Amino acid sequence: THIQSDDPRYDPIWAMCAKHNKPVVIHTSDSYGRFLPIGPEKAPRDPSEPFRPHLREKLRGIAVSPLGIFATTTRDRLLRRDVKGESVWDTKLGYKASTQPLYLFEDRVFVFSQPAGVHVHEVETGEELAPEKLDESLAAVLGDVKENLLRPPIEVGEGQLVLVSASGLKRLDLAEKRV
């Protein structure tokens, strides 16, 4: 049986991970219908009906921390929920988030986008920080992420990520603000 990643049955797991400050990285992709047996639910649609009206908003990238659950969605939203699942904020994105997990560092949420790029949001409000509001060296480092990632970023230390793209590996150091 398939369980959606935002299913309330996972809440005790998210709470335990947050309590012990353990990050959770999830990549979600397939819709609910992909897990149904072949039958009327998978029958070809009537051309007069709207395309896929049954699909709900899906989670794309997720990060769990003691601050709560952060997620991007298929409807270009960035959400923050507390560990009990209550909404803290909900921000409409001006870009298409990738399916890569979000990354939390200091007081910021780093969201990887399609086409390649990294957007930075404030943890407390969800507001996207414009490049001119970022430290100049951090803006330059994030500007170096110009290729789509082939795999989720790999955390190798506090504020350090390894990015895997077609051209190779890059180590992104947010603390030192360098690639």
Cβ atoms 169, 163 nearer than 8 A: yes
pLDDT category of residue 2 using cuts at 50, 70 and 90: low
pLDDT reported for residue 122 = 93
> Running DSSP on this structure, what letter comes out for residue 130?
P
Cβ atoms 149, 165 nearer than 8 A: yes
Can you tell me the distance from the alpha carbon of 69 to that of 157, in angstroms, rounded to the nearest whole number? 21
pLDDT reported for residue 54 = 45
Cβ atoms 148, 114 nearer than 8 A: yes
pLDDT reported for residue 51 = 47
Can you tell me the distance from the alpha carbon of 6 to that of 119, in angstroms, rounded to the nearest whole number? 23
**Model pLDDT for residues 122-164, shown as the tens digit of each residue:** 999 999 988 777 777 677 777 777 777 777 788 888 888 888 8
pLDDT reported for residue 37 = 55
pLDDT beyond 50 at 25: yes
**50-64, 73-87, 94-108, 111-125: least confident range:** 50-64
Residue % of the chain over a pLDDT of 90: 13
Return the SS3 of 19: helix
> What's the pTM value of the predicted model, to 2 decimals?
0.65
Hey, what are 62's tokens?
Answer: 């997720």
Strand 59-65 with 68-73, pairing: antiparallel
Q: One-letter amino acid identity for 114?
A: Q
Widest CA span in the chain = 56
Look at the alpha carbons of 111, 8, 34, 49 in this order and tell me if their dihedral is positive or negative.
Answer: negative
Q: Tell me the β-bridge partners of 162.
A: 154, 171
* Higher local confidence (pLDDT), 43 or 113: 113
pLDDT beyond 70 at 50: no
